[in-house]
Amino acid sequence: MDAFVLQILNGLDKGGAYALIALGLTLVFGTLGVVNFAHGALFMLGAFCAVAVEKLLTLSKQVKDESITFFDAYKEQPYLEIWWGDFGRAIIDYSVPLSILFAIPVMLLFGFVMERGLIRHFYKRSHAEQILVTFGLAIVLQEIIKAAFGANPIPQAAPEPVSGSANIGAWFGLGEAVVYPYWRLIYLFFSLSVIGGVFAFLNMTTYGMVVRAGMADRETVGLLGINIQKRFTVVFGLAAVAAGLAGVMYTPILPPDYHMGMDFLVLSFVVVVVGGMGSLPGAVAAGFLLGILQSFSSMTEVKSIIPGIDQIIIYLIAVAVLLVRPRGLMGRKGVMES
């Protein structure tokens, strides 16, 4: 039972990342009708926003190490610590959450530029060409990051107060074995609230209503005198921010490296296909579902029955779903069907 609960929890935080990326992907499908192979790169850019902020906050200078008295020793001390003491230290400790403030404008701007500069010219081109050009962009982005930050993963620490593990078992009376890192819990709630925010934006604001109308019938909305193009650009920026935030908050769980975007992209595409192209609830549900299934299949009990199942379960499910229910679990008719 404990192991069961633990696996569900393990699956949920990974599922949160899948769901956030898949949400943006399917949002872009549904509005712009563009297959964005660079979406994983946006996730990666988000993660490197966190790295950049951390590097910026810990800019240091050499100071004399007072604790060593036998000879002159020097150590690196961050400027923030020198200027503001404990407060500066706290800021450095909270660099990952603080990066969110940095990542939102950066990702929004990047999304706008990418949509205006590149994606816009590919609305009318074939899906194959959309895939190819965004694939090229993804390579370019990841190589730039590699040139700037190196090829090795750069670990990021969660803030000190939440770096330990929560004894969830004791909270709910399940047994002592259900221990789970605080940060993953935070990630789960964070991804849920971002997803909730996107849904609220689309379903509860007039702006979102128009966007949804545009998803259903772009032409008619245009005929009503609404600049649907502009709103779709905003939607693209939103999708970029969602992917970027997913990346920022994921850094303490997985040290970011330059190809993490590609790794997540393939899986997120599978998630979108399983959930159904153009279906937002489908993407979210499939994200969590596949995350949980993946963590279950990595249990040793399961692996002893079917070896290696954890490596391929997601792909197997995608193949099965596409063959049995080609539109995906919640796919709508007429989206991306050729």
Partner 1 sequence: MPTTPSFPKLQSELAIMAVFAAAVLTMPLWMAPFGAAYPDLLQKFAIYGIFAIGFNLLFGLTGYLSFGHAAFLGVGSYAAVWSFKLFTMNVLPAVVFGTLVASLFAVLIGFVALRRAGIYFSILTLALAQMSYNMAYSVLTPITNGETGLQLTQNDPRMIDHMFVDRGAGLPSTNLFGLEMSGYPGFYFCAVVLIIAFFISLRIFRSPFGLKLRAIKSNQTRMGYTGFNTRPHLLFAFIISGGFAGLAGSLLAITDPLAGAERMQWTASGEVVLMTILGGAGTLVGPLLGAGLIKYFENIFSAFNDSTLHEIFAFLPDGLESVVVFLVSPFVGEGWHLTLGALFMVIVIFLPGGIMEGLRRLSRLVRRPSAGRADQPQTQEG
Q: For partner 1, which residue of 44, 51, 98, 270 counts as binding (CB under 8 A)?
A: 270
- Binding mask 184-223 toward partner 1 (x if CB under 8 A, else -) reads ----------------------------------------
Those residues whose C-beta lies under 8 Å from the C-beta of residue 176, and which sit 6 or more positions away, are: 167, 169, 170
CA-CA distance, 307 to 318, in Å (whole number)?
19
Region of 16-24, 224-232, 281-289, 305-313 interacting with partner 1 (CB under 8 A): 305-313
Where helices occur in 150-181 by DSSP H, the ranges are 168-172
| Token code pair at residue 284 | 């979210």
Contact pattern from residue 226 through residue 265 relative to partner 1, giving x for each residue in contact according to CB under 8 A and a dash for the rest: ------------------------------------x---
Q: Which of 161, 323, 333, 334 binds partner 1 (CB under 8 A)?
A: 323
Residue 154 Cβ vs partner 1, minimum distance, rounded to whole Å: 18
Who contacts 125 (Cβ-Cβ below 8 Å, separation ≥6)? none
* Stated length of the chain: 338
Tokens 């692996």 correspond to 303
Residues 6+ apart with CB under 8 A from 29: 35, 36, 272, 277, 278, 335, 336
- Contact characters 103-132, partner 1, x per CB under 8 A: ---------------x--x---x-xxx-xx
* Binder among 147, 170, 204, 216 for partner 1 (CB under 8 A): 147
Give residues with Cβ within 8 angstroms of 288, minimum separation 6: 11, 12, 15, 16, 18, 19
Q: Site for partner 1 (CB under 8 A): which residue of 9, 28, 32, 35? A: 35
The two tokens of residue 165 are 């593990």
* Binding-site member from 85, 175, 197, 326 for partner 1 (CB under 8 A): 326
Cβ proximity to partner 1: between 105 and 326 the closer is 326
Q: How far apart are CA 237 and CA 233, in angstroms?
A: 6
Q: Residues near 12 by Cβ (< 8 Å), separated by ≥ 6?
A: 188, 288, 291, 292
Least separation, in Å, of the C-beta of 306 and partner 1? Answer: 9
Q: Contact positions toward partner 1, by CB under 8 A?
A: 35, 118, 121, 125, 127-129, 131-133, 135-140, 143-144, 146-147, 262, 266, 269-270, 273, 307-308, 311-312, 315-316, 318-319, 322-323, 326, 336-338
